């Protein structure tokens, strides 16, 4: 491991780049609230094919101007080596030291001819190491419930290992609501000699229809009992938030008690749900909440 993780668990937030100046102003206020608890870093998503390139840059500039450690996601599918190299040079020049390296998904309708120079994330990780040595701490994606396009769980695990062998320092998981899937995945990794920290990705539950849509798209499972309880709450947003908070809080507690090396919160640019979790978990910095 080139950038070993510090021993105590680490906690981070994920943002997505807003589309409008109003969205950016709102995000700036949310970042200030989230940053007050002292997360390790904020990551910023990137649309495959460069669809959010400028707004990802703008969001990163906002974080850097506030003196906050930023970790851009870089989804390489549809890009050439030269395009990725230009982005790496920019980030290096800005003093960025962390990246989340991903394949990304081609927008539907784009054929294989538009895939660009990178077919899989391991190729991107190799390229980053080749071009920038040990400059970046590289995080990659992990799928405790198996990536939706994987031929099977064993091959998916073998493909995850390729990314680690290519030079990833750590991983962040797709979100899940079944802690056993995470622990089983970590055990299987250890069985293959894969020892990097695997940070659970935590998605707060605040809106059932949105969550159901995301989960269908990314292959994350909402367990039947949870889906049925949320469905029964209909449009009662308050009830969904209160129940969702308790469910995710218990999940986080179980993960940390079981040895997870920290948590990466998918904030969806909303400070309230993730800070509530932070407070009830009693994480460092929660005193003022």
14 in active site: yes
Q: Does 73 bind ligand FAD (CB under 6 A)?
A: yes
| Torsion of the alpha carbons at 15, 17, 20 and 25, rounded to the nearest 10 | 40
Query: What's the full length of the chain, in residues?
Result: 289
Which residues have a Cβ under 8 Å from the Cβ of 154 and sit 6 or more positions away?
Answer: none
Q: Check: CB of residue 158 under 8 Å from CB of residue 189.
A: no
Beta carbon nearer to ligand FAD, 79 or 240: 79
Q: Which of 88, 172, 240, 271 binds ligand FAD (CB under 6 A)?
A: 172
Q: Which is nearer to ligand FAD, 46 or 241 (CB)?
A: 46
C-alpha to C-alpha distance for 178 and 225, rounded to whole angstroms: 11
Q: Binding ligand FAD by CB under 6 A: which of 27, 31, 34, 48?
A: 48
| Gap between the Cα atoms of 16 and 155, Å rounded | 30
Stretch that binds ligand FAD, among 46-54, 125-133, 245-253, 272-280 (CB under 6 A): 46-54
Is position 108 an interface residue for ligand FAD (rule: CB under 6 A)?
Answer: no
**How many whole angstroms from its chain centre is CA 29?**
21
Nearest distance in Å: CB 25, ligand FAD = 22
Could you say whether residue 141 binds ligand FAD (CB under 6 A)? yes
Q: Which of 14, 123, 139, 145 is catalytic?
A: 14
150 counts as binding ligand FAD under rule CB under 6 A: yes
Instruction: Out of 149, 187, 193, 259, point to the residue binding ligand FAD (CB under 6 A).
Output: 149
**Closest Cα to residue 73, out of 48, 110, 107?**
48
The DSSP bridge partners found for residue 13 are 42, 265
Radius of gyration of the chain (CA): 18
Catalytically active residues, by annotation: 14
For binding to ligand FAD (CB under 6 A), which residues are involved?
A: 45-48, 73, 75, 100, 102-105, 120-122, 141, 147, 149-150, 155-156, 159, 162-163, 172, 174, 201
């Amino acid at each position: 491991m080139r950038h070993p993780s510090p021993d105590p668990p680490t906690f981070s937030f994920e943002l997505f780049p807003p589309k409008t100046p109003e969205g950016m102003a709102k995000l700036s206020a949310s970042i200030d609230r989230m940053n007050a608890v002292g997360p390790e870093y904020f990551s910023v998503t990137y649309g495959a094919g460069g669809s959010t390139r400028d707004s990802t840059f703008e969001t990163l500039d906002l974080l850097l101007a506030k003196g906050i450690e930023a970790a851009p996601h870089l989804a390489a599918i549809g890009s050439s080596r030269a395009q990725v190299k230009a982005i790496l040079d920019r980030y290096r020049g800005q003093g960025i030291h962390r990246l989340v390296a991903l394949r990304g998904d081609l927008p539907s309708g784009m054929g294989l001819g538009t895939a660009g120079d990178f077919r899989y994330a391991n190729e991107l990780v190799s390229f980053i190491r080749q071009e920038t040595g040990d400059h970046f701490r590289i995080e990659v994606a992990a799928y405790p419930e198996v990536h939706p396009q994987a031929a099977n769980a064993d091959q998916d695990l073998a493909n995850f290992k390729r990314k680690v062998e290519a030079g990833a320092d750590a991983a962040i998981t797709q979100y899940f609501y079944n802690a056993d899937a995470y622990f089983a995945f970590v055990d299987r990794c250890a069985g293959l000699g894969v020892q990097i920290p695997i940070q659970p990705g935590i998605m707060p539950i605040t809106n059932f229809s949105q969550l159901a849509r995301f989960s269908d798209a990314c292959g994350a499972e909402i367990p039947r009992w949870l889906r049925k309880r949320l469905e029964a709450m209909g449009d009662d947003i308050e009830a969904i938030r209160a129940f969702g908070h308790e469910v995710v809080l218990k999940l986080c507690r179980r993960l940390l008690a079981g040895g997870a090396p920290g948590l990466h919160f998918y904030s969806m640019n909303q400070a309230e749900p993730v800070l509530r979790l932070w407070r009830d978990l009693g994480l460092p910095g929660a005193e003022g909440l």
